[in-house]
Amino acid sequence: MKIQHYILLSILFFSFSCSSQTTVREVLDFTEGWRFYLGDVEDAEKPDFDDSSWRVLNLPHDWSIEADFSLVNPATPGGGALPGGVGWYRKTFEVSEFDKEKTIYIDFDGIYMNSSVWINGQFLGNRPNGYISFRYDLTPYLKYDEKNILTVKVDNSAQPNSRWYTGSGIYRNVWLTKVNSTHVDQWGTYVTTPTISETSAEVKVNTTIRNKGDALDGRILTSLIDANGQIVVQTHSPFFMEKDASIEVDQLLTLSDPQLWSIDNPYLYTVLTQIMKGDQLMDEYRTNVGIRHFNFDADKGFFLNGNPLKILGVCLHHDLGALGAAVNERAIERQLEILKAMGCNGIRTAHNPPAPELLELCDKMGFIVQNEIFDVWRKRKTEFDYSHYFPEWHEQDLKDFVLRDRNHPSIFMWSIGNEVLEQWSDIKADTMDMQQANMILNFANTLNKPDVKTQDLHINSLLAIKMADIVRKLDPTRPITSGNNETEPTNHIFRSGAMDIIGFNYHEYNYAGFHNKFPNQKLILTETTSGLMSRGFYLMPSDSIYKWPLRWDIPFDRPIHHCS
């Protein structure tokens, strides 16, 4: 009897230990059972609002693709000829009393656009950019063992606000994250590989730990796990944290005989980060890692792991064609499978941060990615585009963009802009007001770059320097570029000297003379062709370049009607 009792206690203890280990960090799919209303309505953010008549649906959701195409829709054909408008989402959920000591976040992968969020009637914030991932802390406003109401207003009514189809709504995934008071911060690991050889690799891990509880002595245990689930190297470091503080901890692991990530062998390791308080596991966080090295040569091109590689890329917008903008992982995977089969090995995220699922798939399937954030800066291209929000939001959006994505081995470049009108001095669109000009000039005075004579640079060059410096501060391991349709050295972005690699959009007749105009500099063709054809029908000769239409906003038609 005593033996049976001991075995039972052992099983119970083992079960409790496993349970506590696996639930120390919970990331819950928060996409089911939302209520939706298309149109604006008063007081919908209030907890006692009656939403019983609203439509019940699961996220991700794009309400625009559900409507009819029309030339009269203000998005115009250039924006997909589908309606935008205002939409409201509400979700009722409960949090157990057992989670009262937890910190609970709501994580949105992306909402298009201009989202406002409330929890139990408490306003949490607004995020205008439709492609940025963001988080709010729900903890101070939650009720336990009672109903909580999360409300999201999405305002995509001011149109046109883009030059392509955007979709509307909470079109990417949503997560409820529960952690202990001491935990790895949002996007809180930064993994780099400063030294790689055939026999070993140094893996540097920078971890940001946030403490919302009392001061504590702790320990961070970091393990590198191979694709078979085996720990191959491990290290630990003590730390001390004050109450309501955050710290960064640097660690270095040395791996023998590393498997290198490549487009043909996209081998992934996992960094397992464990935060310990004595023997108590406080948090557990996983980061996928690919060990690879690359370089660009001004004369010979791109090298991955020391081997020359011709980049065969496509510019890929975020939507899924007839499925709309709502994220569907299998649909994204199918796109990449088709591209892989036709010989593609590179993706440019035209012209905004992609869904996390795309980058995760590129890591696993072996694509290199030029990750791009902005199609406009302060000068607008359409009447209601991001230029209205750029002065206030570009720093936060740019930081969140890099922090979220900088661990992906597939990403080999950052692009801070596509055909922005700041390339020129004489584009009369959204001229800068005095406050904005002073902000950038004041920044230029703090550059502390003896080789940059800021007094000789145009304000647009200073803006390029500012944004490139933000990226480099967060990730100095990757080169920075931009897609440019002004290919002369007079381009203010080129004059800034902030680009590691010059990016040309089209202008194929300028490729051969590049080194004469840009001595010793590197060139990447960020966008080269735009041929609108139907699957199975291709104009000949096949080595010619076709670019249609002449401008994106000009109606396009040909008598043969072969155009996807």
Q: Catalytic positions, please?
A: 419, 527
Q: 390: which residues sit within 8 A by CB, 6+ positions away?
A: 374, 376, 377, 378
By the 8 A CB rule, do 522 and 505 touch? no
Peptide bond into 317 cis (omega under 30): no
d(CA 115, CA 126): 5
Indicate the SS3 state at residue 196: strand
3-state secondary structure of 425: coil
- Provide the sign of the torsion angle of the four alpha carbons 346, 349, 353, 358, taken in this order: negative
129's CB contacts (< 8 A; 6+ apart) are 113, 386, 389, 393, 397
Edge-to-edge strand list for the sheet holding 368-372: 313-315, 346-348, 368-372, 411-418, 480-483
User: Is there a contact between 216 and 277 (Cβ–Cβ < 8 Å)?
Assistant: yes
CA dist 227 → 22, 231, 257, 519 (Å): 20, 10, 14, 44
DSSP symbols for 131-145: T--EEEE-GGG--BS
Instruction: List CB contacts of 443: < 8 A, sequence separation 6 or more.
Output: 462, 466
Q: Tokens 């290290």 label which residue?
A: 235
Which strands make up the sheet holding 307-308, listed edge to edge?
294-297, 301-304, 307-308
Cβ-based neighbour number of residue 564 at 10 Å: 9
Residues 25, 183: contact at Cβ < 8 Å? yes
Q: Which residues contact 368 (CB under 8 A, 6 or more apart)?
A: 263, 304, 311, 313, 345, 346, 347, 362, 410, 411, 412
Contacts of 236 (CB under 8 A, 6+ apart): 219, 220, 221, 222
Measured distance CA(135)–CA(188) in Å, rounded: 13
274: Cβ contacts below 8 Å, ≥ 6 apart: 220, 221, 222, 223, 281, 283, 284, 285
